[in-house]
Structure 1
Amino acid sequence: MTVNLTRIYTRLGDKGETHLGDMSRVPKTHPRIEAYGTVDELNAHLGVAVATPGMPEQYVPWLRRVQNDLFDVGADVSVPHGGDRERLRVKPSQTAWLEERCDEVNATLRPLRSFVIPGGTAAAAQLHVCRTVCRRAERAAIVCGDELNAEVVSYLNRLSDLLFILSRGANGPDEPLWEPGAGQ
């Protein structure tokens, strides 16, 4: 599939509307626009994560793959079901790949003794930002309702799990843990 972008501005959105992937016009406040806009925001934060000093080298190609997959997610969300053309949809194999990475990294981590405070290394902190934006993207996708490919929600749910696990790995043994009542 080739995408050709010859002109970046079109002026078509100047009045607060935009096209979905099937060329139907909707307000820029439409739930699908919010959902794939948040996926786009997540992708930008992942770009920062990849560029963050101290990001474990093993994670970089994984995060780049996720960035590419997030374009698939955005394409899926942008096109309502129906019509006579076959559309790009998120597949269970993409979610399964995330689960494999979760299991791979989680097997190297110590069991959790408390909730993790977002932070620690710069790489871990950025992965926590990605995790929270991913959760927001998941909630926005759910608002799209039953006509959304359910695999999108599964993918985003699993991705937030992976980002949490990667943040723990990026922190190593010195991850900051919540100490209930410590400031009282």
Structure 2
Amino acid sequence: MPRARDEPVRLTRIYTRGGDAGETSLGDGSRVSKLDGRIEAFGTVDELNAAIGIVLAGAVPGELRPVLERVQNELFDVGADLSVPAHVEGRLRVEQSMVDRLEEDCDRFNAGLPELKSFVLPGGTTAAAGIHLARTICRRAERETLRAATVTELGPLVAVYLNRLSDLLFILARSANALAHHDEPLWKPGATRG
């Protein structure tokens, strides 16, 4: 019987030896190669979650912390959605309300930022640089999800969520610099010539 949506996972043993031959189990119990596109995609979602964890382990402006913590939890839903074939019902899926919250966060944090007049260089504060790194990992997760979707039917909102999340991470990186009163590093055309 499948676990209830809000029931936590209970792990009694971390190693199983089941993957020693290069295969792993999807959320429905089916076995696939560890090179399967879904495994690549949710592995990168896991990497993204770890990158956000590094940001949260450091000095991050208080206004950003609850949003990043919520996103970390949502990324488990994203990974669960990727790990269960789309035709299996009653499993964790990315929901439109999750995408809507990301859009609301984008609008809220972007409202206080100065208008962009140049490309932003990843950097500034440590928090901003870390969020920019998470943004680039998020873009890779989105690409891997889209690639996997050309072979296997995936939940329709996974790539949408990741696309919107990468937008939010860009805005949060800019916000981290602004809230710390740190100048935003901007691209200067021709700066390397001379």
Task: Give 3-state SS (helix, strand or coil) of 2:13's partner.
Answer: coil
Please list every run of at least 4 consecutive aligned residues from structure 1 whose deviation after the TM superposition is greater than 2 angstroms: none
- Equivalent residue for 2:74? 69
- Equivalent residue for 1:86? 90
**1:29 maps to 2:38:** no
- For residue 105 of structure 1, report the CA deviation from its aligned partner: 0.5
Deviation readout 1:48-93 (Å, 9 max, x if unpaired): 011122x11011111010000000000000001224x411110010
The equivalences for 1:84-163 within 5 A come to 85-145=89-149, 147-163=153-169
- Equivalent residue for 1:179? 188
**1:166 maps to 2:166:** no
- In structure 2, how many angstroms separate the alpha carbons of the residues matched to 1:164 and 1:52? 18
- In structure 1, how many angstroms separate the alpha carbons of the residues matched to 2:8 and 2:128? 35
- In structure 1, how many angstroms separate the alpha carbons of the residues matched to 2:34 and 2:173? 33
- For residue 171 of structure 1, report the CA deviation from its aligned partner: 1.0
Task: Give 3-state SS (helix, strand or coil) of 1:144's partner.
Answer: helix
Task: Give 3-state SS (helix, strand or coil) of 2:24's partner.
Answer: strand
Task: Give 3-state SS (helix, strand or coil) of 1:3's partner.
Answer: coil
Return 5+ residue gaps in structure 2 as ranges.
Answer: 1-6
Task: Give 3-state SS (helix, strand or coil) of 2:157's partner.
Answer: helix
Task: Provide the TM-score with structure 2 as the length reference.
Answer: 0.91
Q: How many positions carry a matched residue from both structures? A: 182
- In structure 2, how many angstroms separate the alpha carbons of the residues matched to 1:99 and 1:75? 22
Taking only the aligned residue pairs, the percentage that are identical comes to 60
- In structure 2, how many angstroms separate the alpha carbons of the residues matched to 1:157 and 1:105? 17
- For residue 143 of structure 1, report the CA deviation from its aligned partner: 1.0
Task: Provide the TM-score with structure 1 as the length reference.
Answer: 0.96
